Amino acid sequence: MTLPWIPLLTFLGVFVPALAIRGGRTVCALATATAPAVALGLVLFFYLGHDGDEVMRTSLQWLPAMGLELAFRLDGLSLLFLLLILGIGLLIILYTRYYLSEQDSMSRFYAFLMLFMTAMVGIVTSDNLLLLWGFWELTSISSFLLISFWSHETTARKGARMAMTVTGAGGLALLAGIMLIGKVVGTYDMGTVLESHDLITASPLYPAIIVLVLLGAFTKSAQFPFHFWLPHAMAAPTPVSAYLHSATMVKAGIFLMLRLHPALSGTELWTVIVTLTGLVTMVYGAWFAFLKTDLKGILAFSTISHLGLITSLLGLGNSQAMIAALFHIINHALFKASLFMAAGIIDHEAGTRDVRKLGGLYRLMPITTVLTCIATVSMAGLPPLNGFISKEMFFTEALASQQFGGLAWIVPLLAGLGGLLSVAYSLRLAYATFFRRPRQEPPKTPHEPPWPMRFPVELLVALCIIVGLVPTLPQSPILEDAVRATVSGEMPEFHLALWHGINPALLLSMAVIAGGIVLHLLHRHMMRFNRQFKPQDARYIFEGFVQRLVALCQRLIDRLENGSLQRYMFLLMAVSVLAMALGLADLDMLAGSLGQQALDPIVILGAALLIMGGVLTAALHRYRLISLLMLSVVGLVVALTFARFSAPDLALTQLSVEVVTMILLMLALFFLPQKTPKESSGARVVRDVLIATGFGGAVASLNFAVLTRDLNSISNFFIDQSVPGGGGHNVVNVILVDFRGFDTLGEITVLAIAGLAIFKLLNRLRLFMPATDMEGRLWSNDRHPTLLMVVSQTLLPLALLVSFFIFLRGHNQPGGGFIAGLITAVALILLYMSRGVEWAQQRLDFQFQPIAIAGVALSTFTGLCSWLFGYPFLTSTFDHFHLPLIGDIELASALIFDGGIYLAVVGATLMILANLGKLTTAHRPNKDMP
Amino acid sequence: MEALYAITTGILTASGVYLTLRGRTFPVVVGLTLLSYAVNLFLFSMGGLTTHGAALVGTNENYADPLPQALVLTAIVIGFAMTAFAIILAMRARGDLGSDSVDGSRTDREDPRENKA
């Protein structure tokens, strides 16, 4: 099926303008028009080529687990909107070519426009609610880009932000509503949802669904009280206004209500909310349209008013009202798009769109005058144009409405009032712009625009006339299909005509027209009446609200994130204690079923040393050197603990890391204060002791609970597979370099990155170097004791040999790359310590960064090599070789991987320590020095 | 033995946590190191406490669980990298801010010898 091609084509169109702009502005416009033109042809081809009753659907799996599918449908409703979106879109592209000035980036404008078009096409063709929502949000974003196109203007930026905030917030409400629908129905598939009317309306979630979905629709369609963004969106270039506010963006909300009409409507709740909101919006918008002096302002409020009209029809909800609504959607798009474009032409030619400065234009722009007046007549709902027919249908439905019981008269009253105001503002628009004697000269002397710029207006006005005079002809089958898609059950009879005979609706119409004329004549008095109200600019209210919200959030952030690490640590630890306590409280009893092993004196001694070391480290922390010494006791006994409990690899690692850590911390302490001042208050100490005790108690309980329970380890696999699969007898090492080699690769990468970060942190670091110790004694003159020099130099080759041995045997005996690397590093550091940095630097004249990087690279490369042989990343291999004299020897590719680990560990460790050591000499790490 | 092991781990953890809540960088780094020792001991014990059972295939009947050992081995090395980074960050902060307070405030210079320099 080729339905996805429709949105895809317009999406591809996004990239066309940037390429085509090289050929000039006309070429760019034509090239941009190609994609929507083809898409429009495709739509018509699909539509004409298929059987009337069947809905065309196509779907591709996307995220089936979330119910998200790339599903598209083409039914009568989609078709109606697609014709409007693509058709009017094409006219807008043509119009824009002449509207934009030379300074404006045409390709950027067209790209945004196409993106917006894609989003709209996506909304109306989506066959999955989540997908629809995605496109819905895309319209918010792309309309933001379009409205803020003249981003150098504050009004454009603020208007765009307001539109984005309001419609975006509505979009979130809609998402919530959609998720509730999905929860009730069990799927996001549009077809299923549309057939689940009874299920949804019977659900207790129904009121929430209605409110959330309607929030989305009302914000998008600028219904009262969310209408305020629309007039400010008029800061956009006029083609944008013409497109967004006639046929597309604001109609998206209407479309949503139409689309979900079969599933959600038909209840009292729906009728009350939708009808009342629509009627209020209609009267409100019409009144302000009457008072505005900006051409686009008048049209903006008129748009709000007409959207209210359509919404109220959707609320009434019977099939005749639906027909009227759909018909008015077409008519409104036709006359409003042409009026916006005409307003743009007047603005373009006269240099202003303030009706107070305009007047008498009929002499200078006769053709534009005629066109605009015809469209205005349609907007006012005067015969014999299309606007009249749909308005008559609206009045008929309003008069026939049985809603609100004894207050049923309120519907026709508000409908009539809205219609009356429409007549008044339409008259004012035409009169003030074209016929009134000008009070002042417009900034430019207006003349007729180039013909192609006027052509879209001509075409749309011609359509207005054709639809008005021959309402049965072109749009009937399309309308019929659209009605079928939105009304469940029997297809209602309907007949569109200008003349229905003398009926109540006609009488209401006549009264409304007469009233409108009277109101227009009283315009000056109305303006005076309005002046006594304080003007309310929605922008200030909105901006004030946003600023207060930001300030509130800032205060909240200031309280939570005040820059104090101590507070963060406290919060972190307190929450962790709480989480552990909650988990532990769920246990039936602390001790599990396993019995405990017997104690032996060595274990007791070790535990005593650990406890003493740990407590003294904390207790004596103000005397930093002593605290550090206590820490080293803990580290050493931890190594012994590993050895005691059958972990030789861990013991070796811990031992060598312990040495390196102590050297590091001693070096650091050299540059830091030797004592911590007493600054924690008693209360703070008590609080911290309590937290620490709670934390320790929770960890101890958890540890004990685990140790006394049965263990179902996955390790038997590793033990069984170590020799046959990994070719090594030391299971720990085989896990590191083979089974979980990917983890190890990540870890040596982190190590190398830490080394690099430290190298960077030390760059140009200048620290005070004390000349004496805490008691004021000078450092010893003998900086490099002979004994240490001799021993370290003698030990170096031996240490290197041992590390090589430990590296080689690592696969079968305790050892391996990590341990060997640490031993090498320790030996080299001993050399630095005994001989001084300068001496060592001369002899080890190379950088350590490349070694660490080379190590990571070597390990990665080993992993990649397995791809050459068609195996997954990091697959290892091994084989036995027979060498004369030496005998059988086993070589595993994991050995090379381990070599990478070795290099990374040596490089990173020395990068850290040697560079830190250099701080004590003139060879401080410094970028400027080679 | 298990109870003693758990108590030891708990006390080491508590000492580490107390130190990480201090207001100066050096005790915090020492506390982090102590805490990582405790965490390593804790994780290591997740495979049970085995005597004379190094996970070398063919040496005995009852192997210690090798998986926690492998994980702790890398944790030790990464812990070293973390300690190193934290302490050097602390030095940098002192160099740039003139204070070793964890909140980075430019407060008193505690070391009396520095005034002479």
| Cβ separation B21–A688 shorter than 8 A | yes
Q: Which residues does chain A have within 8 Å of residue B2's beta carbon, measured at their own beta carbons?
A: 596-597, 704, 707-708
pLDDT tens digits along A484-494: 777 766 666 67
Chain A: nearest CA to B33, how far in angstroms?
8
Residue A576 has pLDDT above 90, yes or no: yes
| Cβ separation B83–A596 shorter than 8 A | no
| pLDDT level of residue A52 (50, 70, 90 thresholds) | low
What is the per-residue pLDDT for A366? Answer: 87
Residue A151 has pLDDT above 50, yes or no: yes
Residue A117 has pLDDT above 90, yes or no: yes
What is the per-residue pLDDT for A490? Answer: 65
| Cβ separation A672–B100 shorter than 8 A | yes
- The helix-helix angle for A648-671 and B66-97 (nearest 10°) equals 0
Report field, pTM of the whole predicted structure over 0.80: no
Question: Which residues, including other chains, have CB under 8 Å from residue A495's CB and lie 6 or more apart?
Answer: A472
Residue A366: CB atoms within 10 Å:
12
Distance CA B82, CA B77 (A): 9
| Cβ separation A610–B80 shorter than 8 A | no
Distance CA A228, CA A348 (A): 26
pLDDT tens digits along A733-751: 889 888 888 889 999 999 9
Q: Are A751 and A900 in contact (CB under 8 A)?
A: no
Establish whether the linkage from the previous residue to A225 is cis, with ω within 30° of 0: yes
Distance CA A693, CA B15 (A): 8
| Cβ separation A697–B38 shorter than 8 A | no
Residue A898 structure tokens:
């381990």
| Cβ separation A735–B70 shorter than 8 A | yes
Residue A19: CB atoms within 10 Å:
11
Residue range A627-653: mean pLDDT, rounded: 94
Name which of A600, A744, A750 is nearest B81 (Cβ-Cβ).
Answer: A750
What is the per-residue pLDDT for A887? Answer: 63
Chain A: nearest CA to B62, how far in angstroms?
10
pLDDT: which is higher, A243 or A589:
A243
Amino acid found at B86: A
| Cβ separation B11–A693 shorter than 8 A | no
- Terminal alpha carbon distance of chain A: 66
Residue range A808-816: mean pLDDT, rounded: 85
For A170-184, A755-769, A864-878, which range has the lowest pLDDT when averaged over its residues?
A864-878
| Cβ separation A715–B20 shorter than 8 A | no
CA angle A618, A619, A620 (to 5 degrees): 95
Residue A231 has pLDDT above 50, yes or no: yes
Chain B: nearest CA to A353, how far in angstroms?
58
**Average pLDDT of chain A to the nearest whole number:** 87
Residue range A503-515: mean pLDDT, rounded: 86
pLDDT tens digits along A361-378: 888 888 889 999 999 999
Q: Which residues pair with A126 in a beta bridge?
A: A72
What is the per-residue pLDDT for A122? Answer: 94
Residue range A577-596: mean pLDDT, rounded: 87
CA angle A446, A448, A454 (to 5 degrees): 130
**CA nearest to A738 within chain B:** B70
Domain residue spans of chain A: 1-186, 734-929
Chain A: nearest CA to B4, how far in angstroms?
7
| Cβ separation B53–A646 shorter than 8 A | yes
pLDDT: which is higher, A526 or A263:
A263
Chain B: nearest CA to A869, how far in angstroms?
28
pLDDT: which is higher, A442 or A281:
A281
Residue A723 has pLDDT above 90, yes or no: no
| pLDDT level of residue A245 (50, 70, 90 thresholds) | confident
Chain B: nearest CA to A575, how far in angstroms?
13
| Cβ separation B66–A813 shorter than 8 A | no
Chain A: nearest CA to B106, how far in angstroms?
13
Residue range A752-766: mean pLDDT, rounded: 88
Sign, Cα dihedral of A471, A474, A475, A476: positive
What is the per-residue pLDDT for B105? Answer: 65
Q: Which residues does chain A have within 8 Å of residue B27's beta carbon, measured at their own beta carbons?
A: 621-622, 624, 627, 676
What is the per-residue pLDDT for A606? Answer: 94
| Cβ separation B52–A646 shorter than 8 A | yes
Q: Which residues does chain A have within 8 Å of residue B8's beta carbon, measured at their own beta carbons?
A: 607, 610-611
| Cβ separation B1–A603 shorter than 8 A | yes
Over its C-alpha atoms, chain A yields an Rg (Å, rounded) of: 40
Residue A177 has pLDDT above 90, yes or no: yes
Name which of B1, B34, B72 is nearest A617 (Cβ-Cβ).
Answer: B34
**CA nearest to B66 within chain A:** A732
Residue A607 structure tokens:
């535990």
Chain A: nearest CA to B73, how far in angstroms?
6
Amino acid found at A738: D
Residue A44 has pLDDT above 70, yes or no: yes
Residue B117 has pLDDT above 70, yes or no: no
Length of chain B: 117
What is the per-residue pLDDT for B32? Answer: 94
pLDDT tens digits along B17-32: 999 999 899 999 999 9
- Domains of chain B (ranges, CATH numbers): 2-49+66-101 (1.10.287)
Over its C-alpha atoms, chain B yields an Rg (Å, rounded) of: 20
Name which of A654, A703, A723 is nearest B45 (Cβ-Cβ).
Answer: A703
Helix (H, G, I), strand (E, B) or coil at A294: strand
Residue A553 structure tokens:
């959030």
DSSP state string for A701-740: HHHHHHHTS----SHHHHHHHIIIIIS-SBHHHHIIIIIT
Residue range A827-839: mean pLDDT, rounded: 85
The fraction of chain B above a pLDDT of 70, given in percent, is 88
Q: Which of residues 33-92 of B touch A (CB under 8 A)?
A: 33-34, 37-38, 40-42, 44-58, 63-67, 69-70, 72-74, 76-85, 87-92
Q: Which residues does chain B have within 8 Å of residue A660's beta carbon, measured at their own beta carbons?
A: 80
Burial class from Cβ neighbours inside 10 Å (0-12, 13-18, 19+) for residue A539 reads middle
Name which of A563, A680, A730 is nearest B103 (Cβ-Cβ).
Answer: A563
pLDDT tens digits along A708-721: 988 888 888 888 88
| Cβ separation B44–A650 shorter than 8 A | yes
What is the per-residue pLDDT for A837? Answer: 81
Residue range A133-138: mean pLDDT, rounded: 94
Q: Residue A779 gets which letter from DSSP? A: P
What is the per-residue pLDDT for B101? Answer: 86
Name which of B4, B11, B24 is nearest A614 (Cβ-Cβ).
Answer: B11
What is the per-residue pLDDT for A364? Answer: 83
Residue A133 structure tokens:
């929502």
Letter string b/e over residues A231-249, b meaning 16 or more CB atoms within 10 A of that residue's CB = bbbbbbbbbbbbbbbbbbb
Chain A: nearest CA to B117, how far in angstroms?
8
What is the per-residue pLDDT for A737? Answer: 87
For A41-55, A107-121, A684-698, B65-79, which range has the lowest pLDDT when averaged over its residues?
A41-55
Distance CA A297, CA A106 (A): 25
| Cβ separation B18–A692 shorter than 8 A | yes
Burial class from Cβ neighbours inside 10 Å (0-12, 13-18, 19+) for residue A282 reads buried
Chain A: nearest CA to B32, how far in angstroms?
11
Q: Which residues does chain A have within 8 Å of residue B46's beta carbon, measured at their own beta carbons?
A: 706
Half-sphere exposure at residue A8, Cβ-oriented, CA atoms within 13 angstroms? 8
Name which of B63, B72, B110 is nearest A673 (Cβ-Cβ).
Answer: B110
For A365-374, A836-845, B102-111, which range has the lowest pLDDT when averaged over its residues?
B102-111
Number of A to B CB contacts under 8 A, please give it.
330
Residue range A566-592: mean pLDDT, rounded: 89
Residue range A574-591: mean pLDDT, rounded: 90
What is the per-residue pLDDT for A488? Answer: 66
pLDDT: which is higher, A492 or A530:
A530
| Cβ separation B21–A743 shorter than 8 A | no
Checking DSSP bridges between strand A56-63 and strand A878-883, what pairing results, if any? unpaired
Residue range A344-351: mean pLDDT, rounded: 86
Contact B30/A at CB under 8 A: yes
Name which of B15, B95, B104 is nearest A614 (Cβ-Cβ).
Answer: B15
| Cβ separation B24–A676 shorter than 8 A | yes
| Cβ separation B30–A696 shorter than 8 A | no
CA angle B95, B99, B100 (to 5 degrees): 95
| Cβ separation B38–A699 shorter than 8 A | yes
Length of chain A: 930
What is the per-residue pLDDT for B114? Answer: 47
Distance CA A317, CA A401 (A): 10
C-alpha A727: how far from chain center: 48
Residue A821 has pLDDT above 80, yes or no: yes
Q: Which residues does chain A have within 8 Å of residue B88's beta carbon, measured at their own beta carbons?
A: 668, 758, 761-762, 912, 916
Q: Which residues does chain A have within 8 Å of residue B110's beta carbon, measured at their own beta carbons?
A: 673, 675, 677
pLDDT tens digits along A88-101: 999 999 999 988 88
What is the per-residue pLDDT for A274? Answer: 92
| Cβ separation A646–B40 shorter than 8 A | no
Residue range A820-838: mean pLDDT, rounded: 88
CA angle A480, A483, A487 (to 5 degrees): 145
Q: Which residues pair with A69 in a beta bridge?
A: A61
What is the per-residue pLDDT for A617? Answer: 94
Q: Are A871 and A855 in contact (CB under 8 A)?
A: no
For A25-29, A380-384, B67-71, which range has the lowest pLDDT when averaged over its residues?
A380-384
Residue A616 has pLDDT above 90, yes or no: yes
**CA nearest to B33 within chain A:** A631
What is the per-residue pLDDT for B3? Answer: 92
> Which of the residues A624, A645, A813, A909 would you substitute to probe the B interface, choosing the one with the greatest number of B C-beta atoms within 10 Å?
A645
What is the per-residue pLDDT for A407? Answer: 79
| pLDDT level of residue B111 (50, 70, 90 thresholds) | very low
Element (H, E) at A72: strand A68-74
Residue A178 has pLDDT above 70, yes or no: yes
Q: Are A121 and A86 in contact (CB under 8 A)?
A: yes
Residue A923 has pLDDT above 60, yes or no: no
What is the per-residue pLDDT for A51? Answer: 63
